[in-house]
Amino acid sequence: MSESGRGEKDEDAYDYVIVGGGTAGCVLASRLSEDPECRVCVVEGGPSDVGDENVLKLRNWINLLDTGYDYGYPTVEQPRGNSHILHSRARVLGGCSSHNTLISFLPFPQDLQEWVRAGAEGWDAGTLLPYRQRLRNTIRPVAEKDRNPVAHDFVGAAVDALDVPVVDDFNAQPFTEGAGFFSLAYDPATGYRSSASVAYLHPVMDRPNLTLKLETRAYRLLRDGAGRLTRVRVRYADGSAGTVRAERELLLCAGSVDTPRLLMLSGIGPAEDLRELGIDVLADLPGVGENLLDHPESVIVWETAGPLPPNSAMDSDAGLFVRRDSREPGPDLMFHFYQVPFTVNTERLGLPSPPYGVCMTPNVPKSRSRGRIWLRSADPDEKPALDFRYFTDPEGYDERTIVDGLRIAREVAATGPLRDWLLRESAPGLDVTSDEALSEYGRRAAHTVYHPAGTCRMGRAADDGAVVDPLLRLRGEEGVRVVDASVFPSLPTVNPMVTVLLVAERAADLITGRAGPGTTATSARDVLGEEQR
């Protein structure tokens, strides 16, 4: 990304500069610009989603993958997993909330307590969960008109086969197991998303103190004359370069891949690695890019006799949670039920792809494998290396969870009324029965639920691997915070989008000094209110 021969735009100054107009960035932009005297700028690498039916129609999510709306980060070789996984990261206003299925879960209280034990003081359930009252997204269980009959029968079969309860609303109270239709952030009448962009930015885009720099890529942070990180080098859509300056705070919300990538390109990260790439070290922070988390999943596919009824919100409207170990505080195995055959990874293994079908995707809610992100070069245009180290935990917990999940999925499929829809198992096939064979298949056909997190994790001052403190401030710097899933010390059991929204809502209070919702509740049951139970 050489700047020679390119136009240079004058430096623009704002009170707050938000790098990344994704899930967290939209929340911060909306909340901080509520003060008309406060100048807020969002630097977003993708285009607007306003009026874009490709993005706004929730059911079109699968057609956004590996397109111009997607940065598409490959993984490095995975000796015990699938090396062909392309990690989708959204290139559009709203970030992954404009790109994903918008499955919406409150985090479990025990997940937040895990954060506190890891040094994230002040992020307990009693503090964070009350922010649910402030969320602007419309979150509700899948509407009845979108509940496909085959998904209904999946729920019924799971309940009968596994003796788990039907869950009418997964956000009503904490649960340990159950099957039901998910809650989604969407408008059933239109099928449109209630993304962070739609909910937080669309209503306020005319604020004169809010500037959106779209299709503008941030690629380096710079110090000012006083030594503070206040300036962001950017590349505009027309190829010209410029600098944006934050007079109060610089807020990094680029996500679990691009936030650590930006820090490392700026010379903030593991010093020895950066020097080897010829990058001048501004701060030696060895935790940047470490602790890469994800929810790995596998897939089992069945052929159906013909096309299924067409109604659906987004083709994966129902799911199942199982607690195999009663000592665990919550579920330790999750399934999405797809009303389409998801065969991108099974075809690579030479397995047939049915013309019509369904599948279940068992995933590992509390994966114990840990990976890392690093730079391949000092060139901002070169994609970083992502190594999730799937299925490498020493005890083999992740691998065992997938094997158990494939067996449990077969139990559900063999139970009516779901059984009556299915012709045959296409992948892996009924001849794959041993633990060893199921593990080999499950790992090679594995995919991601697209939940990278943890690469700039929160921690206490004595924790050398922590990148931000519990106030989300970048370690050793003044006026810089990180607000996205990269700060998670550990990954929530459930889909994490709502957790990102909650973190961003609280971050807005931390930045402005505004009081929180003001409750001492300690569980989701306490903060949801009677009307939600």
Closest to 181 measured CA to CA, from 190, 193, 172 = 172
Look at residue 75 in the predicted model and tell me its pLDDT. 97
Residue-wise pLDDT for 326-337, tens only, equals 999 999 999 999
Burial 50-59 (b: 16+ CB within 10 A, else e): eeeeebbbbe
Look at residue 531 in the predicted model and tell me its pLDDT. 29
What's the chain's average pLDDT? 95
The CATH class of 146-181+296-363+391-445 is alpha beta
Q: Compute the average pLDDT of residues 366-393.
A: 98
Closest to 166 measured CA to CA, from 156, 179, 149, 176 = 179
Look at residue 8 in the predicted model and tell me its pLDDT. 72
Specify the CATH superfamily of domain 1-53+62-142+195-293+453-533.
FAD/NAD(P)-binding domain (3.50.50.60)
451 is catalytic: yes
Assign 280 to helix, strand or coil: coil
Residue-wise pLDDT for 341-375, tens only, equals 999 999 999 999 999 999 999 999 999 999 999 99
Binding residue numbers for FAD: 92
- pLDDT confidence tier of residue 454, bands split at 50, 70 and 90: very high
Residue-wise pLDDT for 237-275, tens only, equals 999 999 999 999 999 999 999 999 999 999 999 999 999
Residue 417 makes CB contacts below 8 A (sequence gap 6+) with 153, 156, 157
Least confident of 1-15, 81-95, 185-199: 1-15
- pLDDT confidence tier of residue 2, bands split at 50, 70 and 90: very low
Both tokens assigned to 159 = 């309940």
Assign 74 to helix, strand or coil: strand
Name the residue ranges covered by the structural domains of the chain. 1-53+62-142+195-293+453-533, 146-181+296-363+391-445
Both tokens assigned to 177 = 């197991």
Q: Compute the average pLDDT of residues 179-196.
A: 98
Closest to 506 measured CA to CA, from 293, 498, 21 = 498
Q: Is the dihedral of CA 245, 250, 255, 256 positive or negative?
A: positive
Let me know: does 513 contact 124? Beta carbons within 8 Å: no
SS3 for 16-73 is EEEECCCHHHHHHHHHHCCCCCCCEEEECCCCCCCCCHHHHEHHHHHHHCCCCCECCE
